[in-house]
Amino acid sequence: MDQQAILLLGYLIGSITFIVGLKMLSHPDSARRGNLVAAVGMIIAIFVTIFLYRDHNGNALGNYGWIFGGLIVGTLAGTLIAKRVQMTAMPEMVSLFNGMGGACAMLISIVEHHHNPDAAIGMKVVIVLGMIIGTVSFTGSMIAWGKLAGKIKDRAIPAGQIINFLLFGGLIVSAVMVIGGYNDTPALFYTILALAATYGILFVMPIGGADMPVVISLLNSFTGVAAAFGGFLYDNPVMLTGGILVGSAGTILTILMCNAMNRSLKNVLIGSFGGGAKGGTAAGDKEQGAYKEISLNDTAVLMAYAQKVMIIPGYGLAVAQAQHACHELEKVLAEKDVEVLYGIHPVAGRMPGHMNVLLAEADVPYEKLLEMEDANDQMSTTNVVMVIGANDVVNPAALDDPGSPIYGMPILEVEKAEHVIVNKRSMKPGYAGIENELFFRPKTSMLFGDAKKVLQDLVSELKQM
C-alpha cells in the first residue's frame, strides 16, 4: 500500500471516529468513551498528515520542529487548563477553546491568501468566507468568555443594530470586491479582517446573560463552518468532515434551544434578553408582597415523609460545587423510600447541557434526569420540589406576564407540586436580571444559604430522623 493510500485510510478512520464519537456523546454513559474515540481519530489524522501528506509538487510538510513544538505546547496548555478548571468555569472554557478554533481558521485564510494572492475565484471564496466566519467566531467567543467570567458587562451599544447592519454590508461589499478581483490589494483584505473582528465584538456585546447558552452554541457552529472551509483549502477530508459535523451539530442545537425558549434566533440576537431589555418586568419594577422562609428541620421533615421529590438544578448548584452533596441527598432520601428525580431545563446554566455534565460528574444516574416536558408531566404527582439556583427557568412570569422579557419561554412548572422550596443565597434576581414571581407564591418557601452547606446540613438532618 503506497503512502497516498495510507494517508486516505487514515483520513477515513479519522472521519469515522468523529461520527461514532459524536453519536456516543449523545448519552452520558458513553460520552467519555465517545470523546476518547474522537480524540484517537484526531491523533491518527494529525500524524498521517505530518508524515504522509505531499503537496501538488510532491513535497513533504517539513518544519517538523515548529510542528511538534506547537503540538507539545498546545497539548500541555490544554491539558493543564482542562484539569484545573472548575465546573463553574466550564462554560467560559468552552468559549475560550471555541474562540481558539475560530482564530485557527482565521489564520489559515490569512496564510493562504498571502501564498496565493492570484488564486482562482472558487479558492478566493473559500479563503475570504473562512476568514470572515473564523474571525467573527474568534472575537465573539472572546467577548462571550469575558461575559461568562464576569470580566465584561452587558452593554447596549448606541444604535448598535444600525452599526452592525453597516458593518455587515461593508463586509459583503469588500468581500465581493476581493473575490471578484475588482480590488485585491492587501489593504482591502485586512480591512475585511478588521470589519469581521469588530462585527464579532459588537454582535455579542449587547446579548443578555440568559441568552448566552444559545450564543455559545451559535459561535460553535461558526467555528465548525470555518474549519470546513479549511478542509476545502487543503483538500483534507477529515478536516472537512470534522468541520461539517461541528457546524451542523451546533446549528441544530442552536435551533433546538431557541425552540425550547419559544424565541426565534433573530429575537435572541437583537432582543438583548436579560440585558436590560425595555418594557419587561425587571427586578424591583413592581411590588411582589412578602415571601416566607422555611427552616432546615422543616425541609428535612417535608422531604422525609414525601413519596416523590424533584430537584431543579441551576447555576447556583455549579457555583457552590454542590453536585456531590446533591447526589448524597438523593441517596439518603432513597434509603427512606422517597423517589428522587431531577428536572432539567434545556437552557439552565451557562452553556448547553451544563446541568447534565454537572450531575454526571457526581455519578447521578442518567435515568433520573428528566427533560423539561417529562418533568412537567410528573410535577402534579410530586410532593416536594427543591429549586437549587435555577432562578429564571422556573419563573411563572414566562406563562402569565405578557410584559416580561421571558414571556412565552417554556419553564419547569414547579407550582403544580404540593410544596416548592427554593434554595438561594439571597433574593437577588437570576442571570436574566428579572424578578422571580415564584418566590412570593403561596406554595413557595425560601431556604437561604450556600447550596453546598445547605445540602450537607440537610443530609445530616435526614440521617438523624
What's the pLDDT score for residue 234? 86
What's the pLDDT score for residue 280? 41
392 is catalytic: yes
What's the pLDDT score for residue 270? 62
For 350-396, write each residue's pLDDT tens digit.
777 788 888 888 888 888 999 899 999 999 999 999 999 888 889 89
What's the pLDDT score for residue 277? 40
**How much is the pTM?**
0.78
In degrees, rounded to 5, the angle at the alpha carbon of residue 284 between the alpha carbons of residues 279 and 290 is: 135
What's the pLDDT score for residue 209? 62
Residue 93 cell numbers, joined: 472554557
Q: Determine the Cα–Cα distance for residues 423 and 8; give it in Å rounded to an integer.
A: 55
- The amino acid at residue 73 is V
What's the pLDDT score for residue 104? 94
What's the pLDDT score for residue 279? 39
What's the pLDDT score for residue 20? 94
Q: Which domains does the chain have, with CATH numbers?
A: 90-278 (no CATH), 296-463 (3.40.50.1220)
Q: Determine the Cα–Cα distance for residues 235 and 11; give it in Å rounded to an integer.
A: 11
Instruction: Map the chain to HEC letters.
Output: CCHHHHHHHHHHHHHHHHHHHHHHCCCHHHHHHHHHHHHHHHHHHHHHHHHHCCCCCCCCCCCHHHHHHHHHHHHHHHHHHHHHCCHHHHHHHHHHHHHHHHHHHHHHHHHHHHHCCCCCHHHHHHHHHHHHHHHHHHHHHHHHHHHHCCCCCCCCCCCHHHHHHHHHHHHHHHHHHHHCCCCCCHHHHHHHHHHHHHHHHHHHCCCCHHHHHHHHHHHHHHHHHHHHHHHHHHCCHHHHHHHHHHHHHHHHHHHHHHHHCCCCHHHHHHHCCCCCCCCCCECCCCCCCCCCECCHHHHHHHHHCCCEEEEEECHHHHHCCCHHHHHHHHHHHHHCCCEEEEEECCCCCCCCCHHHHHHHHCCCCHHHEEEHHHHHHHHCCCCEEEEEECCHHHCCHHHHCCCCCCCCCCCCCHHHCCEEEEEECCCCCCCCCECCHHHHCCCEEEEECCHHHHHHHHHHHHHCC
Instruction: Of 10, 38, 7, give the one whose Cα is nearest residue 23.
Output: 38
What's the pLDDT score for residue 458? 95
The residue ranges of the chain whose pLDDT is under 50 are: 273-285
For 3-29, write each residue's pLDDT tens digit.
889 999 999 999 999 999 988 887 777
Of the residues 29, 55, 154, 392, which is catalytic?
A: 392
Instruction: Of 321, 93, 319, give the one whose Cα is nearest residue 216.
Output: 93
